[in-house]
Amino acid sequence: MEALIHISQPSHSIDKGTKIRVMDMSTIHAPEIQTEKPQLKKPPMYKIIMLNDDYTPMEFVVDLLCSLFRKSGDEASKIMLRIHHEGQAVCAVCPKDVAESKVAQVESYCEAHGHPLRCRIEVDSHD
């Protein structure tokens, strides 16, 4: 096998007969250099979908969207009407643990007020 050897000393200053130890080239490995950025995976997001029913008062739904989902009065009214007409609407997109605790909050608040409003959670495929 042929090997290219780099000696840091100028060759004329090496005494004749000096022994140079050469490593077996097969043991030299090029360092692995990572050129691509590591792809950090984003956590999956979940949609909170509010469902229609025939009993919960519209005004209660609007108030709930304003207080628990920080919607403006205008946004809350639009979402409530969409639920009323289409059967359901997304009212927030967030990580799973946040979505679960929000839904628990909504349902216990509604139950405490005697209203049957329900929500469901669905993984968001758009992220």
What are the residues binding ligand TYC (CB under 6 A)? 50-54, 56-58, 61, 80, 83-84, 117
Q: Which is nearer to ligand TYC, 83 or 92 (CB)?
A: 83
- What letters, b where the CB count within 10 A reaches 16 and e where it falls short, cover 94-125? beeeebeebbeebeeebeeeebebbbeeeeee
Which structure tokens are listed for 104? 């628990």
Q: Which is nearer to ligand TYC, 45 or 88 (CB)?
A: 88
CB of 61 vs ligand TYC, minimal distance in Å: 4
CB of 89 vs ligand TYC, minimal distance in Å: 8
